[in-house]
Amino acid sequence: MLSERHTPDSIILPALPYSQSALQPVISANTLGFHYGKHHRAYVDNLNKLIAGTAFADMPLETIIGATAGKPEHVGIFNNAAQTWNHTFYWNSMRPKGGGEPPETLKRKMESSFGGVEACKKELAKVAIAEFASGWTWLVQDGEKLRIVKTANADTPLTQAFKPLLTIDVWEHAYYLDYQNRRGDYVNALIDKLANWQFAAENLELA
C-alpha cells in the first residue's frame, strides 16, 4: 500500500493508486475528487498545522496515532492522524475491476473463519450497512482468524489488537453524491466490483 510520506516537519498526502475516474461507475470521479481532494487533503493539512513545533512533528504517522490514542488533550491530533491513515488504507482497499475471488491464502482464511467467501462478504456488507453513524467497517486478522469489526468516526484498528486487511468507509461523504441515502447499494457495489482482495491478502500475516 502507499503510505503517507514523512519529512521532518510534515506528513505528505500520497497520490491515489489510480485515476479519479478509474472506479466509475461504482464511485464517480466527482465523489472521488471531493473525497480525496477535499476531505483527505484537509485531514493532512490540519494534522500538519496541529503537530508543527511539537514532538509529534518528527514522528511517522502510525507513531503519532499510537501516541495520541485515548488522550483527550490530543484528540484533535489523533482524529486528523487516524483519518489520514484510514483514508489511504481505504483507497488501497479498492481497485478498478476488483471484487471476484480472493487469492487462495485469503480464501482459506475466509472459509475457516466465516464458512466461505460469500459468507464473509455478506457479513462485511451487513456490518457496514448497519453502522449507525459515521465510521469504518474493517476486515481484520485476529490471531489465526479473520473478523469483521467497525470503528466510529476516526477510530482505527491500529489502536486495537487487530491487523487491518481491508476497509469500507461509511462516512456519508464517501457515497452521498452518488447514492444519496442508499448506503447498501454503495457497500454491495464496492464489495462486488471494487474490493481489492489482493491488497487484503498482502496484509495477511501468515504463521
Domain that holds residue 155: 104-203
Phi, psi values for residue 12, rounded to 5°: -110, 130
Distance, CA of 132 to CA of 118 (rounded, Å): 24
Model pTM score: 0.93
Alpha-carbon torsion angle 141, 36, 124, 94, nearest 10: -80
- What CATH number does the domain containing 131 carry? 3.55.40.20
What confidence tens digit (pLDDT) does each residue in 118-170 have?
999 999 999 999 988 899 999 999 999 999 999 999 999 999 989 999 999 99
Q: Is 177 inside a domain boundary?
A: yes
If you compute the radius of gyration of the chain from its CA atoms, what whole number of angstroms results?
Answer: 17
Instruction: Quickly count: other Cβ atoms within 10 Å of residue 176's Cβ.
Output: 15
Q: Is residue 196 part of a domain?
A: yes
pLDDT in tens, 2-36: 455 544 457 999 999 999 999 999 999 999 999 99
- Overall domain count for the chain: 1
Domain-embedded: residue 44:
no
Residue 187 covered by a domain = yes
Instruction: Name the CA dihedral angle for 195, 5, 84, 166, rounded to a multiple of 10 degrees.
Output: 20
What are 87's three cell numbers?
A: 483514508
